[in-house]
Amino acid sequence: MVRSLLQVFSKEVRGMHQAAYVLAAFALGSQLLALVRDRLLAAHFGASHTLDLYYAAFRIPDFLFATVASLLSLYALLPILTKYEKEGGGRMLSFLRQILFVFFVGMGVIAAIVFAFVPSITAHLAPEIASPELTLLVRILLLQPILLGASNILASYTQLRNRFFLYSISPLLYNIGIIIGIMVLYPLAGVAGLGWGVVLGAALHLLVQLPFFTSEKATEHVPARVVWRDLLQVLGLSVPRTLALAAGQLSLLALVSLASYLATGSISIFMFAYNLQAVPLTIIGVSYSVAAFPTLARMHANGEHAEFSRYLETALRHIFFWAIPATVFVVVLRAQLVRVILGAGAFDWSATRLTAAALALFVLSLAAQSVTLLIARAYYAAGNTKKPLYWGAANVVVSICSALGLVALFHSSIFLRSFIEVLLRVADIPGTSVLMLALGYALGAILQFTLGFYFFTRDFRVDRTRIGALVFQSFAASVIGSACSYVVLALTGTAGTINTALGLVTQGAAAGIIGLGVTGLVLYSLKNQELCEAWTALHRRFAPAPAVSIETTDISS
């Protein structure tokens, strides 16, 4: 039975839209589990000191993952692996196995050094909440970047083979491990049990890919000197990208550190809202950028520059097509979403409203973040990893500086504070200064997108006129549809007057379905090209017909 399941998940998927929808479907499943995870955390702890510790503990392992483990990322490995695949003889597998050994040794040594200095690190990064419990959590979580880093190396093989099913199931298992930690290990081991649940999820993330990786045999061995030569080439490609990832984690680390100085529960509110905005970001931005990358790398390697640009434009248009309505509807339905997802147990109505307000500010940058993911992968496929680094550095500077400035201004300016609180309907709730951290994060992401999009469209000759027309259509249709949703909310009562989960679900579902239906009708009346392409791709995926490759179907003229 296990072998049969692995064969199902190891099936090859071709075509950008089909691959993107497969990734999106599994991303949706993973994010639903992530929402279950967050709901359990909210119900057990609320926006509390314990949950602040839990989220703060992630920042050091996540930073370690971004700065060290990602040096051997699949985006830098794919060009080298493609070369080995052409040579045949299983040389690619031989190379990957030796790379895995190097990774485990190097990452283990670095994690051991960090392990020894954790008390000092936490005392400097989050002095307001530093404690033996925080130190213990961080030390346990240091296993996470080792396991996830190894899993990402294996993912380069599964993606190269277009095994998107197998690649996509790993995040599902990661969240299952965390849920086990909350439900089973926490009652047994306290806060440490939460950490061990994360480690269990990371181990499952790695182990699910091993059978496919070990099923193919390497008949030729790559000499050690060749491995080190190619490893240096991989590192040369990876360092700028790793620094770009580190920039993003540095921004998040700084904002969480700043939140530790605010009211108790501020870290929890910030991270709950951040995780919620990551749901549409993963389903839209990550899915399309991941699905497009292998083909982009192949096209660039083969010198198919015109096809490369058209393929990019197609992916870009569809990211905007999905991200803009998602942004508008999340802003309109934010209270219903947060209350239904997190509203249980210790997570009270005040925490719901504050998280919903932070979510509205985060999601303003949803389209920007989604497109930035594609832009970065386009440059990685083209072998240029430096430009995304520059824009990521600008993001860090703007995010941190604007957050610091906004928090200071928020406390000193009655007008700004009143305007934000009234606009987001949180005037009667304490601890609203955390909203400025979410706004600072969004401003940094929007600046990164602005810089990246300008050079991206110039370097890859993407037609801005077509993109502009799509953005206008999608935004106009979304505004009309969301206005209908708002009318439904007004007619059925505000979220504050609906006290049951069933009532909120019914209200939100009715408003969302009607609003999305109107949005779709408006786009259909405008003969929107992306709507037709999305429908065609979905029909082709589920219709009983053979798959059609991307080169002949998914590139628009």
Question: Is the Cβ–Cβ distance between 440 and 255 less than 8 Å?
Answer: yes
CA-CA distance, 277 to 359, in Å (whole number)? 6
Higher model confidence: residue 45 or residue 439?
Answer: 439
**HEC assignment per residue over 132-172:** HHHHHHHHHHCHHHHHHHHHHHHHHHHHHCCCHHHHHHHHH
For the residues 15-38, what does the mean pLDDT come to? 70
Instruction: Name the percent of the chain lying above pLDDT 70.
Output: 84
Is residue 283 in some structural domain? no
Most confident among 83-87, 128-132, 179-183 (mean pLDDT): 179-183
279 CA to centre of own chain: 7
Q: Under 8 Å CB-to-CB from 50, ≥6 apart: which residues?
A: 191
Whether pLDDT at 199 is above 90: yes
Name the band, by pLDDT with cuts 50, 70 and 90, for residue 185.
very high
Query: pLDDT digit string (tens) for 278-310?
Result: 888 988 888 788 777 777 877 887 788 788 888
Question: How many CB atoms are located within 10 Å of the residue 419 CB?
Answer: 11
Higher model confidence: residue 209 or residue 90?
Answer: 209
Q: What are phi and psi of 403, to 5 degrees?
A: -65, -45
pTM of the model: 0.80
Q: Of 371, 87, 393, which Cα lies nearest the Cα of 249?
A: 393
Q: What is the pLDDT of residue 310?
A: 83
Q: What is the pLDDT of residue 19?
A: 57
Is residue 313 in some structural domain? no
**HEC assignment per residue over 201-260:** HHHHHHHCCHHHHHHCCCCCCCCHHHHHHHHHHHHHHHHHHHHHHHHHHHHHHHHHHHHC
Whether pLDDT at 81 is above 90: no
For the residues 112-141, what does the mean pLDDT come to? 91
Is residue 191 in some structural domain? yes
Q: What is the pLDDT of residue 12?
A: 47
For the residues 260-273, what does the mean pLDDT come to? 91
For the residues 385-394, what does the mean pLDDT come to? 85
Question: Is the Cβ–Cβ distance between 193 and 185 less than 8 Å?
Answer: yes
For the residues 418-430, what does the mean pLDDT come to? 90
Q: What is the pLDDT of residue 33?
A: 85
Whether pLDDT at 70 is above 90: no
Q: What is the pLDDT of residue 156?
A: 75
CA-CA distance, 475 to 226, in Å (whole number)? 52
Whether pLDDT at 16 is above 60: no
Is residue 69 in some structural domain? yes
Higher model confidence: residue 434 or residue 385?
Answer: 434
Q: Which of 20-24, 54-58, 416-420, 511-515 has the lowest average pLDDT?
A: 20-24
Is residue 437 in some structural domain? no
Q: Which of 421-435, 457-471, 482-496 has the lowest average pLDDT?
A: 482-496
Name the band, by pLDDT with cuts 50, 70 and 90, for residue 406.
very high
Q: What is the CA radius of gyration of the chain?
A: 23
Q: Of 295, 454, 478, 279, which Cα lies nearest the Cα of 372?
A: 454
Mean confidence (pLDDT) of the chain: 81
Distance between the two ends of the chain, CA-based, in angstroms?
A: 45
Output the six-digit token pair for 6: 């692995």
CA-CA distance, 249 to 58, in Å (whole number)? 11
CA-CA distance, 410 to 398, in Å (whole number)? 17
Whether pLDDT at 82 is above 80: no
How many domains does one find in the chain?
A: 1
Structural domain of 151:
49-239
Q: What is the pLDDT of residue 330?
A: 92
CA-CA distance, 445 to 202, in Å (whole number)? 28
For the residues 77-98, what does the mean pLDDT come to? 72
Whether pLDDT at 77 is above 50: yes
Whether pLDDT at 68 is above 60: yes
CA dihedral 39, 345, 327, 442 (to 10 degrees): -90
Name the band, by pLDDT with cuts 50, 70 and 90, for residue 223.
confident
Kindly write down the DSSP assignment for every residue of 416-443, as one continuous string.
HHHHHHHHTT-TT-S-GGGHHHHHHHHH
Most confident among 20-24, 90-94, 451-455 (mean pLDDT): 451-455
CA 485 to each of CA 283, 330, 481, 508: distance values in angstroms, whole numbers, following the listed order: 22, 11, 6, 9
Most confident among 28-32, 152-156, 537-541 (mean pLDDT): 152-156
Whether pLDDT at 269 is above 90: yes
For the residues 77-87, what does the mean pLDDT come to? 71
Q: What is the pLDDT of residue 161?
A: 66
CA-CA distance, 11 to 88, in Å (whole number)? 21
Whether pLDDT at 454 is above 50: yes
For the residues 421-437, what does the mean pLDDT come to? 91
Is residue 382 in some structural domain? no
Is residue 203 in some structural domain? yes
Q: What are phi and psi of 419, to 5 degrees?
A: -65, -50
Q: What is the pLDDT of residue 235?
A: 76
Query: pLDDT digit string (tens) for 516-556?
Result: 889 889 888 888 777 777 777 665 554 443 333 333 223 23
Name the band, by pLDDT with cuts 50, 70 and 90, for residue 469.
confident
CA-CA distance, 471 to 390, in Å (whole number)? 26
Output the six-digit token pair for 293: 């990358």
Is residue 157 in some structural domain? yes
Q: What is the pLDDT of residue 408?
A: 94
Crossing angle of helices 435-459/366-381, nearest 10°?
40
Q: Under 8 Å CB-to-CB from 1, ≥6 apart: which residues?
A: none
Q: What is the pLDDT of residue 166?
A: 67
Name the band, by pLDDT with cuts 50, 70 and 90, for residue 500.
low
Whether pLDDT at 142 is above 70: yes
Query: pLDDT digit string (tens) for 344-369?
Result: 778 888 888 999 999 999 999 999 99
Question: Is the Cβ–Cβ distance between 120 and 113 less than 8 Å?
Answer: no
Q: What are phi and psi of 154, to 5 degrees?
A: -65, -30
